[in-house]
Each structure stands twice: as C-alpha cells, then as structure tokens.
Amino acid sequence: MAIQFAYHKLYHRVVSTYESCNVQHFLFGRTETIRSATTDALNLVKRFETTNNQEGYQLLKRATKTHHQVAENARIGKGVDRHLYALYCVALQRNKSHGEDIPQLFRDSSYLKVCTSSLPSSWAGKNKKEAPLALISSLPTFCPRQR
C-alpha cells in the first residue's frame, strides 16, 4: 500500500502494478502476477490524507485485506496473467502458422495497458527476511523518468 500511495502522491494517478507471487508448489510452477492496483487501493490513496484517523485506518484495513485476497488467489493458482499470456502465445503461433486472426482481447488497449506495468514491485522469496531486499530493489521506480 505504501508503494501505491507514494506513486499516487508523486504522479497523481494509479497505474498497473506488477508484484510476483511464488507458485513453485505447483509442478513446473514459477511465478504468478499479483495485481495490487485494486479499487480499494485506489480509494485508500485518493482519500487517505483527507480523512480522519479512524476512516483512514478503515480504508487501509480494507485495501490490505483486498490485497491479501488477491495475493492468496494468485498463490493458489487463481491468477490469470500467466494463463492469458499462454493463450496469447498460442494465438501468435496460430497467426504465424495458419494466418488466423489474433483474438480481439489481445488487441484491446486495456489488455495491452495491463501487460505494461509501470510500477513493478516483486517479491517471490520464501521467507519474510527477504522482503526488505525486494522492496529496496523496487524503489528506483519512484524516480521521475523522461518519456
């Protein structure tokens, strides 16, 4: 939530966020994507500074609960990013080999925007002691970039 808040404070917007989740407990599993830019996170970052402590606490509590659920869904195999990416690769191959059209979903601007994360924040470690290192490695994303 702190990363979402800091990005919003700097750029006055919420962007597609990539956070990896370890799914090595599945056969050939590696990572899945946690999409932490939720509606509850947006409500938190937009309203946090203008609310009283109690309301701010409730917004933070709701946003972190939603984030936890999204992360847990990714961890137990209910994420969609890797599945959609595999379907996209199949569509590209079928287009190349059979001339089939790539489905509209994969040409839609919203899908392309989600696939281009502006704010990566990865931690696929196995224990909580590794988390600070992952956070530090994601901090340069806060630096203003020329576009």
**CA dist 41 → 48, 96, 98, 113 (Å):** 10, 40, 43, 18
pLDDT by residue for the chain (147 residues), tens only, comes to 788 888 888 888 888 888 888 888 888 878 888 888 899 999 999 998 888 889 989 999 999 999 999 999 999 989 888 888 889 999 999 999 999 999 999 999 888 877 776 677 665 445 544 444 444 344 333 333 333
Token couple for 91: 């569509």
Handedness of CA 29, 35, 36, 41 (dihedral sign): negative
**CA dist 121 → 16, 73, 90 (Å):** 11, 18, 28
Give the Cα separation of 118 and 60 in Å (integer): 22
Provide the whole-model pTM. Answer: 0.70
Angle formed at CA 3 by CA 118 and CA 52, multiple of 5 degrees: 130
Give the Cα separation of 100 and 97 in Å (integer): 8
* Helix axes 39-47 and 2-11, enclosed angle (nearest 10): 60
pLDDT at position 147, please? 35
pLDDT at position 132, please? 41
User: Amino acid letter at 79?
Assistant: G
pLDDT at position 123, please? 52
CB atoms closer than 10 angstroms to residue 19: 25
